[in-house]
Amino acid sequence: MTPYLGEIRLLPYTRVPLGWMECNGALVSIAENDALYTLLGTTYGGDGVQTFGLPNLQSRVAVHQGTGQGLSTRVLGQVGGKETVTLTAQTMPTHTHIMHATTTTATANAPSNALEYGAVGGDTMYSTTVDVNSATFLATSVTMSGGNLPHDNIMPTVAVRYFICVSGVFPTQN
């Protein structure tokens, strides 16, 4: 079956097939690709006089244009997303920190995952008692920590190549 002009395919090739170009955002000549320009226009870039842009799907996931239920509107050619994100106090979800403690007199002086804060008794601070009361920390009792560095924001991926047909059947409209 002959592909449609402008059709995009995902292929595992290391070479560009004849009649196709890589979807890498390249600017191409309108004069040499007038039929494809008729379909794409300057949706993906170019000056619309001498050049137009091919879609750039390098390091991108294609998303359907339009508005899905409960989703933001996406227009044809719109780019979005980031490969890395740095969380800040303003971008983290609202949450609390719970401290577990007991009023029973402490019997140990070293913390462990089997102990809770207890009522101080001499030089001991931790108790094995399971009689636990929960309390929310005051904001002033919790300090910031971390390196403030971006973290990877990319879903699991496999690298392949997107190609656009530059020599195919011109798609007719209904």
Under 8 Å between Cβ of 161 and 10: yes
**Better-scored residue on pLDDT, 64 or 50:** 50
CA distance 83 to 150: 9
Out of 28-32, 59-63, 99-103, the most confident range is 28-32
Q: What average pLDDT does this structure show over 44-64?
A: 94
Query: Hey, what are 156's tokens?
Result: 């699991």
Q: Would you place residue 146 in the very low, low, confident or very high pLDDT band (cuts 50, 70, 90)?
A: confident
- Residues 6+ away with beta carbon under 8 Å from 163: 8, 9, 11, 16, 17, 20, 21, 22, 23
Domain 1-61+156-173 sits in CATH 3.90.1340: yes
Cα distances (angstroms) measured from residue 149 to each of 90, 91, 131, 143, 166: 15, 14, 40, 17, 42
Confidence tier at 150 by pLDDT (50, 70, 90): confident
128 pLDDT tier (thresholds 50, 70, 90): low
Which of 7, 32, 31 minimizes the C-alpha distance to 20? Answer: 7
Which residue type sits at 126?
Answer: Y
Q: pTM score, two decimals?
A: 0.68
Q: Judging by DSSP bridges, how do beta strands 98-105 and 116-121 pair with one another?
A: parallel
Q: Where in the chain is the domain with CATH 3.90.1340?
A: 1-61+156-173
How confident is the model at residue 106, as a pLDDT? 72
Give yes or no for a contact between 36 and 5, defined as CB atoms under 8 angstroms apart: yes
